[in-house]
Structure 1
């Protein structure tokens, strides 16, 4: 009887999984896996705390965005437009946010597709610039013929695949539990680690995910009573997303810490004594899933953001929404096919996104405190305090990212 009751409760919780999985799938891309591998290889377990901080920050911001979508029945883009009466401010915000996120998503597409192709390339030896466009075309077809529900199911499946591969690998390499806990709960900033810390946080707390979550939450849930379900979804899925990233850091910190090896290829090679012939397969499947998930989410995020800001619409049935999706994925297909590495564009996009995050977080705080729109579901004082701290930290990271991008641009 108890077993049957537990199974029923687990089944009910599983039904609540949805928009949060899209967000988790979005931030666990090839860039995150590569950054986490570098963090573990260079600094062992000492930067796990940065992932915990990033995940907690993401949970708070995404909860506000999903609550906004459920209560108002509209997305964050529409809510931001509604805050301004003067056209100069309204359209200024639309252009600034839309352009920065649109450019960012387009710039990252080549990396997402190439990163996913690396997974296939490791197993087959076929060059990445042959595989990446094929992955892009498959995603484009899914976007043009698919529905929100289909995308949600695919991204949930990809998060499960990444969980099985990366978390299983972490367990197999048998890390030091005591050292892992120390790295998780005693923050340290080793020499030379600040760039990696900023990268870990920047790949987890993603601006366009706020627009995507508000829109997808209001597609999934219509009743204020569903806020509890949305919170459960966020806790489980984003928590699992953070665990996947931490698992990569821990695995790299266990087997390639202090070596000259770097990158996921080195990680796969180092796993061979432990996993044998399965080593390359584990990492390949994980990278393919990471590339697919992020490559599906990036154009989706751009479409939700721009569609909401311009009032063009944010549903799969809307042709303008699909047009934005197609343009972003099309850029990724072309750039990955010709082997173009848009590093200067990516640096600019990173700087723009770093600067735009605190601005969007401020807008989010404003709209979730609007009693006319949110009623009794406005932010509590405690949530506003946490939101304020997040804005301050995000502002510091944004300034650092801008300075770093300018230095890299001048140096390059």
Structure 2
């Protein structure tokens, strides 16, 4: 192999490594929850709620940059910084709220995965002895086994490839439906119906993009990358690329659902209804492609969820993230088993999943406020305190998060 090839290979691997946290953010955010929220939003309201997606990606960028800078300058992760400055009770409250978000997300995601898988089995095969709980037990056992043996990296990569194909299919479909719509693009932005409970959907869109758990894990990932002050520009590019790709893919899903479901008046009540969003491009293969994509997105987002609570505990205690500890193994198993709730007890997994995403805005104002205070503390940031521009950006983010808290609260009240 030539020196040039070695150099190219080395540079390529370095670039991939530098953008590791970005791939984690995209992989986590563009999962089953995101697909569900965007499809339901597009099917019910067209692109009229796309402003929520745009603003959440815009403000999340500033949060990612700020959290990364705080971690790099202080040398400590987010929750440990919170504990040192604001005390144990408030930090434990935030971690507990994030745990609720983690568990509820696992419950909703596995419900959607099981329902979509059962639909594919019933349509494409003659198997009759399987049901939702059995399918869920299989996937949960697979995830626990992968965690226990530590042989999950290649599996997650395979799942990510499946998600990538589904994302590409949505992007292609979005171009097709716009081209074939035969109407003005303004028809994709209908007037929102009055007295309609869109608050939960809005909060779900924001919650799946500006996920509190994902932001907390950002700090851990930046620390694991061993980024220093010299890497602040790399970190900035990483945050920008992750949010740009998240917005692009999520918008494509919303456009696809608008053109295929909203324009035809097809509602989304069950997970299987979402399969129609890929109809124009995938045709008869839409069911299989969507099923593979949802399984890939679901399992690749549940697996990080299994690790996140132990990570947060290690973050809080400033100890090594040793996943071989008996306590951490027990936590992983219990969180994984929560995925059996919907298949066993029933319920509409689509709305359960959207509701789980809508929980995130309840803790985001507090996280943003704490972050704003820490980034202006000279004892922590020294000469690297944030400037006027970032202060204004985070202040605007805080106001946005407070408004989203109000929207989410009203959405849950109307939903209940």
Q: Displacement, 1:146?
A: 2.8
1:121 to 118, 139, 142: 118
Which stretch shifts more, 334-343 or 296-305?
334-343
Task: Name 1:87's counterpart in structure 2.
Answer: none
Q: 1:273 to 1:66 in 2, by over 3 A?
A: closer
Task: Name 2:54's counterpart in structure 1.
Answer: 52
1:289-336 deviation digits (Å, cap 9, x = unpaired): 22123212323333322332244544545554444333322322x324
Q: Displacement, 1:245?
A: 1.4
Task: Name 2:24's counterpart in structure 1.
Answer: 22
User: CA separation in 1, counterparts of 2:40 and 2:286?
Assistant: 18
> Would you say 1:223 and 2:228 are equivalent positions?
yes
Equivalent position SS for 1:276: helix
> Would you say 1:169 and 2:166 are equivalent positions?
no
User: CA separation in 1, counterparts of 2:184 and 2:324?
Assistant: 46
Kept after mapping to 2: 8 A contact 1:47/1:183: no
Kept after mapping to 2: 8 A contact 1:25/1:155: no
1:111-152 deviation digits (Å, cap 9, x = unpaired): 111223344334322533322222222222333333897798
Task: Name 2:305's counterpart in structure 1.
Answer: 298
Q: 1:21 to 1:45 in 2, by over 3 A?
A: same
1:354 to 339, 344, 361: 361
Q: Structure 2 matches for 1:1-400, cutoff 5 A?
A: 13-84=15-86, 90-125=87-122, 127-146=131-150, 157=161, 160-175=164-179, 191=194, 192=196, 193-263=198-268, 265-269=272-276, 271-272=278-279, 274-311=281-318, 313-316=320-323, 318-332=325-339, 334-341=340-347, 353-400=360-407
Q: Displacement, 1:45?
A: 2.5
Q: Displacement, 1:389?
A: 1.0
User: CA separation in 2, counterparts of 1:323 and 1:374?
Assistant: 37
Q: Displacement, 1:249?
A: 0.6
Equivalent position SS for 1:221: coil
User: CA separation in 2, counterparts of 1:202 and 1:336?
Assistant: 21
Kept after mapping to 1: 8 A contact 2:52/2:205: yes
User: CA separation in 2, counterparts of 1:144 and 1:33?
Assistant: 29
TM-score with structure 1 length normalisation?
A: 0.83
User: CA separation in 2, counterparts of 1:138 and 1:252?
Assistant: 31
Q: 1:169 to 1:51 in 2, by over 3 A?
A: same
TM-score with structure 2 length normalisation?
A: 0.82
Kept after mapping to 1: 8 A contact 2:105/2:353: yes
Over aligned residues, Cα RMSD in angstroms? 3.7
User: CA separation in 1, counterparts of 2:182 and 2:233?
Assistant: 34
Q: 1:322 to 1:386 in 2, by over 3 A?
A: farther
User: CA separation in 2, counterparts of 1:224 and 1:178?
Assistant: 52
Tell me the number of residue pairs that the alignment of Structure 1 and Structure 2 aligns. 400
Could you list the runs of 5+ residues in structure 1 that have no partner in the other structure? 85-89
1:85-109 deviation digits (Å, cap 9, x = unpaired): xxxxx23113311221112211221
Q: 1:59 to 1:190 in 2, by over 3 A?
A: farther
User: CA separation in 2, counterparts of 1:80 and 1:180?
Assistant: 50
Kept after mapping to 2: 8 A contact 1:140/1:329: yes
Q: 1:355 to 1:92 in 2, by over 3 A?
A: same
Q: Displacement, 1:166?
A: 2.4
Kept after mapping to 1: 8 A contact 2:169/2:278: no
Kept after mapping to 2: 8 A contact 1:354/1:402: no
Which stretch shifts more, 145-154 or 295-304?
145-154
User: CA separation in 2, counterparts of 1:33 and 1:221?
Assistant: 32
1:335-377 deviation digits (Å, cap 9, x = unpaired): 2452444999989966753221100111122223333333333
Kept after mapping to 2: 8 A contact 1:129/1:339: no
User: CA separation in 2, counterparts of 1:358 and 1:337?
Assistant: 33
Equivalent position SS for 1:64: helix
Q: Displacement, 1:388?
A: 0.8
